[in-house]
Structure 1
Amino acid sequence: MQPGVSDRFARASFNLGVAAVTAIILFSMLDLISRTLGKPVSWVPEVSVYFFCFAICSSMPHVTRQGSQIAVSLLLEALSPEARRRYVPFVEGLSFLVCMVIAYLCAEICWKQFKAGTITVADLSIPKWVLSAMLTYAFLMSGVMHFVNAFSLRKHSTMFGKDFT
């Protein structure tokens, strides 16, 4: 079956996260080599933290689309397959609403930080709105993936490792 637009988008976003983790590894190797040569690179720890934040936020849509996020599924697992088929879309819809509210709040904070010109307190300072924008993206796109999952029969047929189609 051909992957849908949401699957391709989530995968592309995930690949950006993988690239960020790869960059962290390369920066760490650079730092290790430079320390060995007696010329440490001071910016590597801070840049690694920013890239780690980016990696997490860009991976969230893919993790959500795959249903691999942390979830308390005890109630859904206890339900019969027929009841689960009815309630999983409801839970996905509720998750969509929660993610949208969080994305809205993050966007609001992001805008306030942008207007105020707030920067991080570090040797390598960046505008705080950049970090808030990453969080806004993560929750907005995770919400979209919950919305897509709510209407995806393929997703519901394999959720929790049980086939109930």
Structure 2
Amino acid sequence: MTKIAAGLERAFASRGFAEPNVEDLRDAASVSLRTLYKYTPSRSEMVLAALEHRHRRYLSKVFDGMPDDPNAALDALLNRVGNWMETETAHGCLFHGAVAAEPGSARLRELLERHKTEVATCAAKVTGLVGREIEISVILEGLTQAWALHRDAAVESAKLLGRGLRKLEI
């Protein structure tokens, strides 16, 4: 299933949610149509599988091997988010894109909320800012939105905001 979800994630990330047809998704997953439907019996299940895979990959890439020092962790976190934006996200947040493509889907909204909440919780924990999850979320969301226009300057600005938030905690 991981191979299928990875292929679906790549297809949706590169082509959006409206463009790829089922044959395109089958090809991206490198399986037969029968196998694709066995594991993801509908297009909405394909989207959810892709996003679940994306969620696990993001958490691993951003949080694995984080420094123990909260200040170093803050810089590492924001550098890693900037790197994710550069290497993985050509069209913005895939979770927001999925909800925008199907705004009436409660399951997509729940997955978006779970992803963003878990990211903020992990970020607050590694940076020593537990209790400031909303503020961390605003910094991370601002970075992901500003990155396309400002790239490294957006990362550095996010670090300044994060350091300011850390000073409030001292």
Q: Larger RCO: Structure 1 or Structure 2 (Cα < 8 Å, ≥ 6 residues apart)?
A: 1
Check whether TM > 0.5.
Answer: no
Give the TM-score normalised by structure 2.
Answer: 0.30
